[in-house]
Each structure stands twice: as structure tokens, then as C-alpha cells.
Amino acid sequence: MWDISNNFSLVQQYRQSSDEPLTNLVSVDQRYFVTSCSKGSLKIWDSLNHSLASNKLNAHHARVNSLNLLSKYRIVSCSADKTARVWQLQGVNMQKLIDLAHTANVVSAVEIESADMVAVVTQLGYVYVWDLQKPTHPTRVLKFE
């Protein structure tokens, strides 16, 4: 963690074991943040106590490529295990709500229209639009040429 008001001085380094942090997402309350890791875990850190608050070890079965905020307390994680997963955050707890299976490495996801629609991008250049109220299959599939 860097202090941008003090010449970007290092405040705290957050890392646990050999599971390399790849991306992070700051929570809306500015206290907790989530890191995605190289071995598929998601970790919630407490920025006030500079400590690990929660560790979801097997959140994914491969590297987590990105994290995005969908709503105040929901995030989506995208992984090389070909899934995007929607999580509910409750303080330092994280519960998986929805599994969105794909046929290729999932690179990124973003909310569209409302908190119940998500566009998911795969490494093969496809965009899958999902209705989170009916997540059995994508409502639309687009291919970038």
C-alpha cells in the first residue's frame, strides 16, 4: 500500500505465501480491499490493521485475471479456469453467488445497464452478456474480429 499524499511512500506490503497478488479492488468503505492471486485465491485485507482478514483459498482453480465491482457489495472475479464468479461481500466475508462457465480463459467482466447484467470477455475475443437473475446461459454472444 502506498501513501500518495506522502511522496508515494510504501506503507505496507501485502502478500501471503507464494500466492502472488495480481489485481486488487478497493471496497466502497475504503477499509477493506480484495486481491486476486496467481493460484486462484481471493484475499480480503484490512487496510487499518494491515492484516489478512479473510482468505478464499480455492475461489478459482487457476489464476484470477481480474476483479470488478458490480454493486456496493458484489464483485465479479474472472479466471483462467474459464469461469467468472459473482461474490457477495459482507464485511470480511465473501460468499459465492453465481458461477458463469465459459469455453476459454475469462479476462474481464463489467456491469452493464443494471447490477443484474454483466458483460464477460474471454481470451478468444468473445463477449458474453449474462442476466444474473437467469444465469443458466448468456443472453447474447458477440465476437470481435
pLDDT at 27 over 80: no
Residue 42 confidence (pLDDT) above 90 = no
pLDDT (tens digit per residue) in 55-98 = 777 888 898 999 988 887 888 999 999 999 999 988 788 899 99
The amino acid at residue 125 is G
Residue 85 cell numbers, joined:
464468479
Strand partners, 91: none
Residue 1 has pLDDT above 60, yes or no: no
**CATH 2.130.10.10 assigned to 20-143:** yes
More reliable by pLDDT, 10 or 55: 55
The beta strands (E) that lie in the chain are given as 2-3, 9-10, 21-26, 32-37, 42-46, 51-56, 64-71, 74-79, 83-90, 93-101, 106-112, 114-122, 126-131, 140-143
Domain boundaries, the chain: 20-143
Neighbour tally for 58: CB within 10 Å? 9
For residue 56, give the 3-state DSSP assignment: strand
